[in-house]
Chains A and B, each alone.
Chain A
Amino acid sequence: MIRREITTPTDRLFSRRRFIYYSAALAAAVACGPAATPATGSPAASPSGPVQLKGTKVNLLHWTSFVPDEDKWFKETLVNDWAKPNGVDLTIELVAANEAQPKIVAALQAGGGPDAMLLQWTWAHLYADKLSDVGTVAEKVGSDGGGFYDAAKQNAQVQGVWRAVPFGITGNAVHYRESLLKQAGGDKFPATWSDLAKIGADVKAKTKLFYGQATGHSFGDPPTFLNPFLWSYGGSETDETGKKLAINSAATKDALVAFKDLFDKASDPQCLSWDDSSNNRAYAAKQIWATLNGASIYLTALTADPDLAKDTQLVLLPAGPKGQFSLGTPFQYAIPKYVKDPGPVRELVSYIMSPKTYGGFMKTGGKGYTLAPYKKGEGELWPSSDPKFDPFKKIGTLTKWYGYPAPPSPAAAESGSKYIVVDMFAKVAQGETPESAMSWAEGELKTIYKL
Chain B
Amino acid sequence: MRAETRERPVTAGQLPTIGEVLDRQGVLAYILLLPGLLILAAFIGWPFITSLWLSVTDQSVSTSVARFVGLENFTGALKSQIFLQTVRNTFVYTGVTVVFKLGFGLGLAVLMNQSFRLKNLARAALLLPWIVPTALSAIAWLWLFDATFSVFNWAIVRSGIADRGINWLGEGVWAMTSIIIANIWRGTPFFAISILAGLQTVDRELLDAAAVDGASPWQRFWRITIPLIRPVVLIVLLFSTVQTISDFQLVYVLTRGGPANSTHLLGTLAYDVAVRAGQLSQGAAISLYMFPVLIVCVVALLVYMRRSSV
A residues within 8 Å of B by Cβ?
2, 6-7, 10, 13-14, 17, 101-102, 105, 108-109, 123, 126-130, 215-218, 269-275, 278, 281-282, 285, 287, 410, 413-414, 417-419, 423, 426-427, 430, 440, 443-444, 447
Q: CB distance B62 to A127 under 8 Å?
A: yes
Alpha-carbon distance A10/B61, docked complex (angstroms): 42
Among A6, A128, A270, A281, max chain B CB count under 10 A is at: A270
**B148: Cβ under 8 A from any A Cβ:** yes
Q: CB distance B79 to A282 under 8 Å?
A: no
Q: CB distance A270 to B148 under 8 Å?
A: yes
By beta carbon, the residue of chain B nearest A106 is B275
Q: CB distance B80 to A447 under 8 Å?
A: yes
Q: CB distance A278 to B147 under 8 Å?
A: yes
Q: CB distance B61 to A105 under 8 Å?
A: yes
B residues within 8 Å of A by Cβ?
24, 28, 31-32, 34-35, 38, 60-64, 76, 79-82, 145-149, 167-172, 175, 255-261, 271-280
Alpha-carbon distance A351/B64, docked complex (angstroms): 31
Contacts A/B (CB < 8 Å), 16 sampled: A13-B35, A101-B276, A128-B62, A129-B64, A216-B255, A216-B256, A269-B167, A270-B167, A273-B168, A273-B171, A273-B259, A278-B146, A414-B273, A418-B272, A423-B258, A423-B261
Q: CB distance B260 to A282 under 8 Å?
A: no
Q: CB distance B61 to A282 under 8 Å?
A: no
Q: CB distance B147 to A271 under 8 Å?
A: yes
* A269 with B35, Cβ < 8 A, contacts A6-B28, A109-B280, A129-B62 known: no
Contacts A418-B273, A423-B259, A430-B171 aside, 10 further interface pairs with beta carbons under 8 A come to A215-B259, A271-B170, A273-B171, A273-B259, A410-B62, A418-B82, A418-B277, A426-B259, A443-B80, A444-B80
Distance from A414 Cβ to chain B, minimum over Cβ atoms (Å): 4
Alpha-carbon distance A14/B35, docked complex (angstroms): 8
Q: Is the interface of A mostly helix, strand, loop or mixed?
A: helix
Contacts across chains A and B counted by CB atoms under 8 Å: 136
Q: CB distance B277 to A413 under 8 Å?
A: yes
Q: CB distance B258 to A426 under 8 Å?
A: yes
Among B63, B64, B170, B175, max chain A CB count under 10 A is at: B170
Q: CB distance A105 to B62 under 8 Å?
A: no
Q: CB distance A6 to B169 under 8 Å?
A: no
Distance from A442 Cβ to chain B, minimum over Cβ atoms (Å): 11
Q: CB distance B148 to A282 under 8 Å?
A: yes
- Choose among B32, B81, B149 the residue that contacts A443 (Cβ–Cβ < 8 A): B81
Alpha-carbon distance A419/B273, docked complex (angstroms): 11
Q: CB distance A126 to B278 under 8 Å?
A: yes
Residues of the A chain whose Cβ atoms lie less than 8 Å from the Cβ of B274: 105
Distance from B200 Cβ to chain A, minimum over Cβ atoms (Å): 26
Among B35, B64, B280, max chain A CB count under 10 A is at: B35
Among B82, B145, B147, max chain A CB count under 10 A is at: B147
By beta carbon, the residue of chain B nearest A432 is B260
Residues of the A chain whose Cβ atoms lie less than 8 Å from the Cβ of B172: 430
Q: CB distance B35 to A285 under 8 Å?
A: no
Distance from A425 Cβ to chain B, minimum over Cβ atoms (Å): 9
By beta carbon, the residue of chain B nearest A126 is B278
